[in-house]
Amino acid sequence: MPPTPKPRSGGGGFWVVLLLLLAMGGGGWYMYDQSVKEEARLAAEARARAEAEKQRKAAEAARKAEEEARRKAAAEEEARRKAEEEEARRKAEEEEEARRKAEEEARRQAEEAGDDTPEPKKEEESEETPSEEEVQPGPYDAPLPMTGGGVTARETKELYDSMIDRLVTEGDFAEFHRAFNSKIKAAIPEIINNDKLNYNSYKRSKPLMQSVELCRLTHLAGATTLTNIVKPDKRQQMGEAELGTESGRNFMLWMLRDKNDPLGTFMQAFTANQGNPANMAYHLKTFFKLWELTPEKERARYLNLAIACALVAPSRATAAPQTKTKQPALSIEQVYAYFREQDARNKLLTDITKMDVTNLLFVVDVRLPRSEFDWVMKNLKYSQAQWGDAYASIRYRMEIAAGSLSEAELYQRYTFDEIREDGGVCRHQAYFASNTAKCKGIPAVYIVGDGDRGPHAWIASMIDTTSWKQTGSYGYNTGRFSNPCSGRSMHESVLLNRTKKTGDDKLAAAYTGMMLAEHLVSMGCTTEARSASRYVTGSFPLLTAAWDSRISVLTADEDNIPEADYWRKMSNELARLGKKNAELLDRAADIDNNYALEGKSDSAKKNTMKKNLDKLKRTVGNERSDLLLEAVDRQAALLSEAGDVRGLGLLYNKTLKENTRRGDVFGSLLRQYVGHMEKAGATKRDWTSMAKATEKIFEKNVLTNTTDHFKLSKEVEIQKIISTIYAKAENTKKADKLKEAAEERLRLSSERNG
């Protein structure tokens, strides 16, 4: 066999390797080429997407610009339309007001003439179709019967409810106020006939009564405030970050539809306590916050408590506590929560769920840290009827009265515990007794007044469900307190004369009538407002607030204030009623001074004021020295304006002699006398005569050798006034001698009692 040939070394392997390398190189190039193509495709797609997004954004911007242009155009058109409507309404109201005043003037002239001249007829309404430029009816302008029976017809109720639903949804209170004031004005003839208010008809007309309450609230609080409450997106505009999240729409619907009539109760209580209109927005927002803090099932139970807390004047509600601890006073919301908490635990001595708002105001105006509330609950066990004993439980410290010990030295924190431990004087006793009573749910007030033994402080507290009693007055009759809602200074008799017949529920008709009259004034319906206020004073003749409201209504229109004869008749009526309510004697004197004597001669004015003063003395005697002082001051003002120094001497010398047993009255009269002599332009001779006469009366009838520090202090006060009179007479030697003698008496007394 031929031999097998041997392979060539290296020759075939080379070509195999070469072929493999070529194959690999071709695959790599292919892969590279594909990668480049993929990147190019992706880049193209990205550019396409970017271009599409650019075009989309451009289209969106164009669309938004077009919408914004349309919106601005629509807003401008709406603003123009509203401006035209407002101008048309204004002109219509001006024409209506001019027509009404013309009718009133014609009626007044007819009454003065005593004839039967008919009232001018109203112009017949045009039957022509309104042009496009005339005012278009608003959402609340649909006809709605405002008067009728206790329950309106279904259609009427449904329409009214639908308007309320819209109101609390849209929050357009300004538009509602405009439209419903027109409806109220149109409904007036149905409830006020022959110049008389038919209250029963008004009370049965629930849509009308509630509309008056709501429009009155809007007028006082402002439409913006109400809008911000019902519109959640407007909450921040109220500046009340602490407001809850529950919708204000529910609050307003509750106010208007709850069977317990929250709106009516709120507005009546504000009227009853003669609240300050400037505070109404605060009161309403506070009421809303308290409502949000109250579980739904408890809102009816604590309705009056919430209203009372809401109606505490902001200056009182935010005042700093008198304690000097690091703890702040409870906020009004915390006070509300505290009394709900204690009521639920049956820890209070009164039933705050059955108490009217006016009495509750004298509970919830308390300004204390929580620690003080807790101290009272733990340490004081007096009954409601005997809580006045807390006043006398505080040991009297004569060192403070005499000036040898200061309050700063006695108290470090001024807490109830310190006061009970260390004692104090009358102002500390009154502070302790009145505030601890409030902590237990007892209405109480801190009272101040002046008397024969100098300035004094005492308390009055409610001893059962209706009656009030004073403690620590020691015969003083000038005591006054401050109303927590209005801030007005009031005589303590306002509380001491309260009975079952003077509770808020018994006087609801009075407050409702007052509210109606005051709202009619704001609408420009002066004649109708006077009719409403006359009904109130006729039905509640002894209610001082009713007469205050009537006087306000009568003087609201400065161009149409009643003539002097009208005021004289009212003054006589008030003087007659003053036998049962001394406050009305003061109102009668004010009317005489400001209105009834207009146009009368000085002689006639003096005679009238003298008669009023004599009548006051006969009626109240020494029971109301504060009213006596006011009456003398009014008469003296007339004399000083006329420069009648002799007349002032006759008036004051007589009145001073009649009041020598009351150092406080004597001193107050003497200060008045000095002031009016200055206004009258008294000469040196006049002052000399006055100094000698008053000193003689003082030394003969007032000056004593008493060792009673307080009575002596009052005598020293009078001596110093007489000293100033001698100084005005340029008799400095006598003035200094009197002053030095007075100060020496006081120094010796302080040493004896300190």
Cα of first residue to Cα of last residue in the chain, in angstroms, is 159
Residue 751's domain comprises 647-754
* Domain membership flag for residue 745: yes
What is the DSSP code (8-state) at residue 396?
Answer: B
Q: How far is CA 523 from CA 143, 160, 191, 208, 344, in A?
A: 20, 21, 16, 15, 45
- Cα–Cα distance, 680 to 601 (Å, whole number): 19
Q: In terms of Cα–Cα distance, which of 627, 634, 694, 630 is closest to 660? A: 694
User: Residue 446 pairs with which residues in a beta bridge?
Assistant: 459
CA distances from 94 to 87, 98, 529 (A): 10, 6, 19
- For 566-629, give the DSSP string: HHHHHHHHHHHHTTT-THHHHHHHHHIIIIITTT--HHHHHHHHHHHHHHHHHHHTTS-HHHHH
Burial of 69 (0-12, 13-18, 19+ CB in 10 A): exposed
pLDDT of the residue at 611 = 82
Task: Return the structure tokens found at 434.
Answer: 């009145």
CA 75 to chain centre: 38
612, part of any domain: yes
Q: How far is CA 555 from the centre of its chain?
A: 21
**651 and 630, same structural domain?**
no
Q: How many CB atoms lie within 10 A of CB 291?
A: 22
CA 510 to chain centre: 18
Q: Is residue 596 part of a domain?
A: yes
**Structure confidence at residue 596 (pLDDT):** 83
| Ramachandran angles phi, psi of 580, nearest 5° | -105, -20
Q: 673 and 596 in one domain?
A: no
Q: How many CB atoms lie within 10 A of CB 466?
A: 15
HEC sequence for 706-718: CCCHHHHHHHHHH
637 lies in the same domain as 671: no
Shared domain check, 609 and 724 = no
- Write the DSSP assignment of 18-87 as a string of letters: HHHHHHHHHHHHHHHHHHHHHHHHHHHHHHHHHHHHHHHHHHHHHHHHHHHHHHHHHHHHHHHHHHHHHH
Residues 373 and 459 in one domain: yes
CATH label of the domain that carries residue 401: 3.10.620
Establish if 531 belongs to a structural domain.
no
- Nearest-angstrom CA–CA distance, 512 and 213: 9
Torsion over CA of 301, 307, 308 and 311, rounded to 10 degrees? 170
Q: What angle do CA 601, 606, 611 make, to 5 degrees?
A: 130
Nearest to 371 by CA among 325, 303, 422: 325
Cα–Cα dist 651/643, whole Å: 14
Residue 261 lies in a domain: no
The rounded distance, in Å, linking the Cα atoms of 152 and 246 is: 31
Distance of CA 574 to the CA centre of its chain: 27
Residues 421 and 447 in one domain: yes
In a domain, 170, yes or no: no
Q: Please tell me the distance from the alpha carbon of residue 633 to that of residue 576, in angstroms, as a whole number.
A: 22
Angle, CA of 635, 561 and 118, to the nearest 5°:
140
Count the domains in the chain.
Answer: 3
Place of tokens 């049965």: 204
Contacts for 663 with CB less than 8 Å, ≥ 6 apart: 451, 452, 453, 702, 711, 714, 715, 718
Rounded average pLDDT per 10-residue block, the chain, 754 residues: 43 46 43 46 58 62 61 58 55 54 52 41 38 64 75 75 93 95 93 91 91 96 94 57 64 96 97 96 96 96 98 96 92 98 97 97 97 97 96 95 89 96 96 98 96 92 95 90 95 91 92 96 94 96 95 92 92 90 88 82 80 80 84 91 94 94 92 96 96 95 91 94 96 95 91 81
Q: Name residues whose C-beta falls within 8 Å of residue 239's C-beta, 6 or more positions apart in sequence.
A: none
Nearest to 287 by CA among 254, 319, 318, 316: 254
Q: What is the DSSP letter of 454?
A: E
Q: Residue 474 and residue 451: Cα distance in Å, rounded?
A: 9
Q: Verify that 578 and 723 share a domain, yes or no.
A: no
Whether 721 and 706 have beta carbons less than 8 Å apart is answered as no
The verdict on 593 and 724 lying in the same domain is: no
Residue 226 lies in a domain: no
How far, in Å, are 218, 268, 278, 281, 482 from residue 221 at the CA level? Answer: 5, 15, 8, 4, 23
**Is 694 exposed, middle or buried (CB count within 10 Å of its CB: 0-12, 13-18, 19+)?**
buried
Bridge partners for 490 per DSSP: 481
- Asked if residue 577 and residue 701 are part of one domain, the reply reads no
Q: Around Cβ 248, how many Cβ atoms within 10 Å?
A: 25
Could you tell me if 683 and 587 lie in one domain? no
CA-nearest of 614, 552, 541 to 583 is 541
| Residue given tokens 């024969």 in the structure block | 452
| Domain finish residue from 620, 642, 664 | 642
The domain boundary residue, chosen from 454, 472, 499: 499
Q: CA 738, 744, 750 angle in degrees (round to 5)?
A: 140
Instruction: Give the DSSP per-residue string, 216-229.
Output: HHHHHH-HHHHHHH
Rg of the chain on CA atoms, in Å: 40
Q: Are residues 461 and 489 in the same domain?
A: yes
| Torsions phi, psi for 412 (to 5 deg) | -95, -40
Under 8 Å between Cβ of 85 and 136: yes
Phi, psi of 443 (to 5 degrees): -60, 130
474 belongs to a structural domain = yes
pTM over 0.85: no
Among 576, 608, 642, identify where a domain stops.
642
CA 266, CA 306: separation in Å to the nearest integer? 10
CA distance 11 to 22: 17
Residue 720 in contact with residue 712, Cβ under 8 Å?
A: no
164/147 Cα distance (integer angstroms)? 17
Please tell me whether residues 456 and 394 are part of one structural domain.
Answer: yes
